[in-house]
Amino acid sequence: MTRYEDNFQRSVGGSIMRRLKTVCLAVVLSLACAGGSWAGVVFSDSFDGENGGSYALDYGAFTKWSVSVPSVDLIGNGDYDWWPGNGLYVDMDGSSLSAGAITSIPIVVEPGKYILSFQLAGCFWDPAKYPHEALDMVTVGVSDGSLLFSSAYSLAYDQGFTPYSVNLDISQASTLTLSFEGYSKQGGDNVGMLLDDVVLETKPAPAPGAILLGSAGVALVGWLRRRSML
């Protein structure tokens, strides 16, 4: 074999090796992207569709919520809009001077892992300038007849909308309700923490078979790399 023939074979072999690595890499990426189950939203509410898109004080006609303790305000979208650009949202301490609580409609879920996400913001009113308590809280709960999750959240008055998420592991088919309850030490003072963008969705999980195939693909790419270095 001449030197030119040898170089030609090396060139062709190298080209084939590079193509094989590219194909294997594409397979691995495809498995990584398509191998798992995708998240699915089972409940969501941005509150933007409430009351025709307009604010309402001491609001109790929510589409997806009941107000169990008076009262809450529906504000934003240009009116009583403490944090502009977020559409409508809920002031958990309504204008009746009584901190409120809202409970979702029943949500039917299958066994699995879920993520509850929501956004909270401070009341915006500076207690040094307005008659207002220094501390506001919202207690978030998830129940299936018994309490599955409960936690209190507090933010400074000047803290804008902040995302939170909670992981839930549901062991059997259930009907859930979500709850958000405002708090004020004196019962209420007209302004409280703000709530927006509540979402409950399934948590994506990779398929076991895809994990094995993906690992095999990664191993094959590594072997091809070693071969090309010989």
Using CA atoms, how far apart are residues 143 and 116, in angstroms rounded to an integer? 12
Beta bridge partners of 177: 143
Other CB atoms within a 10 A radius of the CB of residue 71 amount to 22
**Which CATH entry fits the domain spanning 41-202: 3.30.460.20, 1.10.10.10, 2.60.40.10, 2.60.120.200?**
2.60.120.200
pLDDT for 28 = 42
Q: What are the extents of the domains in the chain?
A: 3-36+207-229, 41-202
- Model confidence pLDDT, tens digit, residues 154-181: 999 999 999 999 999 999 999 999 999 9
Cα 108 to Cα 63, 148, 173, 181, 190: the distances in Å are 17, 15, 8, 22, 34
Lowest mean pLDDT: which of 77-81, 89-93, 173-177, 217-221? 217-221
Q: pLDDT class for 188, splitting at 50, 70, 90?
A: low
Q: What is the mean pLDDT of residues 23-43?
A: 57
Show the CA angle centred on residue 69, arms to residues 64 and 72, nearest 5°.
65
Tokens of 52: 């025709």
**pTM to 2 decimals?**
0.74
**How is 155-168 classified by DSSP, letter by letter?**
--TT---EEEEEEE
Show the CA angle centred on residue 98, arms to residues 94 and 101, nearest 5°.
70
Strands 112-121 and 88-91: unpaired
